[in-house]
Amino acid sequence: MSEQTWSIGEIAARTGLSVKTVRYYSDSGLLPVAGRSSGGHRRYAPEAVERLRLIRRLRALGLPITAITRVVTGELGLDEVLSGELDAVHERLSGLRWRRAILQALDDCTGAERLRRLEVLARVSSLPTAHGDLRRTWKHALPASLPSRVTDTLVTSAAPAPPEEPSARHVLAYAELHLISAHPHFREQMIFPVDARAAVFYTGLLDATAAAREALVQQHPGHLVQAGTLLADACARAYRTENTDHYRRELSLYFRARPLVYRYWHLVSSLTGGNTCDGATAYTRLLQQFHGTGHRHHIT
């Protein structure tokens, strides 16, 4: 063999690794064998030392063998692998924070209430799965005739991602959103029956919500009332009728007969922070005008 090759023992001595570890990396394909001695023993080229040092450093960072293999074989650059691993760590941390909040919600109560919470929180134990399910529920419930941009806006508003640092209150609110979405009358209560002119209604609803949000930011009660008129106008246009006082009374009765609507959006507002710049908060304030909650002119 060439003098430029080393035995497994020499490679181990130069890198500070055990012979067993070097053999493991060699068997895994991470360390190519340059040849064999006359006695059949493995021999390694000098560059094997630098490769082993790189492997050891990457292992010290906790990178899995599969990721290290892609780096040392040149399949992926180190920056790509590190970026992927960083994303994976963020995902694991997000999962741990969500689990911690669920456990806190269960630790905060006892007896029958703990059993009730355990049942509802089991629905959202995996946040990625729960979030995907909630988005799909809304996407399937909304009229198929809506433009995709309107559907996307509505789904994003109705199925928000929880905060990065969720509390027990957040996970309980999110679990209740899932309970409502599983209600047998979910679509009947939550989706306004305007399939024929859905785009007219939902575009108007988004405009009314934006106006309500602006009124809340500016702390202008009169503008909030005007935003409520915009919502009633959207409903009237969808049914090709006039927005009269009689029609608004009918609309008020319609919303009062659908308590899930107000409850759902109140939960969304709680989940997203409940600040005045939030769309869910603005929409709940619009609904209050039709529910007769007595907060029509009150802005916080």
pLDDT at site 294? 38
Look at residue 249 and tell me whether its pLDDT is greater than 50: yes
Label residue 29 by pLDDT band (50, 70, 90): confident
Long-range contacts of 280-286 (CB under 8 A, 24+ apart): 280/157, 280/160, 281/213, 281/216, 282/209, 282/210, 282/212, 282/213, 282/215, 282/216, 282/227, 283/157, 283/209, 283/212, 285/212, 285/216, 285/224, 286/208, 286/209, 286/212, 286/224, 286/227, 286/228, 286/231
For the segment 109-152, what is each residue's pLDDT rounded down to a tens digit?
A: 999 999 999 999 999 999 999 999 999 999 999 999 899 999 99
pLDDT at site 192? 86
Label residue 293 by pLDDT band (50, 70, 90): very low
CA 224 vs CA 14, 86, 132, 175: distances in Å: 75, 44, 33, 30
For the segment 161-214, what is each residue's pLDDT rounded down to a tens digit?
A: 999 999 999 999 999 999 999 999 999 889 988 877 899 999 999 999 999 999
- Overall size of the chain counted in residues: 300
CA 19 vs CA 8, 28, 263: distances in Å: 6, 14, 65
pTM (predicted TM-score): 0.76
Q: Give percent of the chain with pLDDT exceeding 90.
A: 50
Domain boundaries, the chain: 6-75, 77-300
pLDDT at site 232? 93
Look at residue 248 and tell me whether its pLDDT is greater than 60: yes
Asked if residue 200 lies in contact with residue 153, where contact means CB atoms within 8 angstroms, the answer is: no
- Provide the residue type at 101 as one letter: A
CB within 8 Å of 249: residues ≥ 6 apart:
none
The CATH code for residues 6-75 is 1.10.1660.10
Distance CA 90, CA 251 (A): 46
pLDDT at site 94? 95
Taking each helix axis from N to C end, the angle separating 221-238 and 245-256, rounded to the nearest 10 degrees, works out to 90
pLDDT at site 69? 87
Classify 36 as helix, strand or coil.
Answer: strand
CB within 8 Å of 256: residues ≥ 6 apart:
290, 291, 292
Distance CA 10, CA 8 (A): 5
Tokens of 242: 């006039």
Quick one: average pLDDT of 254-281?
83
pLDDT at site 39? 77
Mean pLDDT of the chain: 88
Label residue 299 by pLDDT band (50, 70, 90): very low
Distance CA 187, CA 68 (A): 49
- Provide the residue type at 291 as one letter: H
Q: Greater confidence, 182 or 1?
A: 182
Look at residue 297 and tell me whether its pLDDT is greater than 70: no
Label residue 274 by pLDDT band (50, 70, 90): low
- Provide the residue type at 157 as one letter: S
Q: Greater confidence, 39 or 71?
A: 71
Distance CA 84, CA 71 (A): 12
Among 43-47, 121-125, 152-156, the range scoring the smallest mean pLDDT is 43-47
pLDDT at site 1? 43
CB within 8 Å of 47: residues ≥ 6 apart:
none
Label residue 28 by pLDDT band (50, 70, 90): confident
Closest to 217 in 3D by CA, of 295, 282, 298: 282
- Provide the residue type at 190 as one letter: M
CB within 8 Å of 119: residues ≥ 6 apart:
none
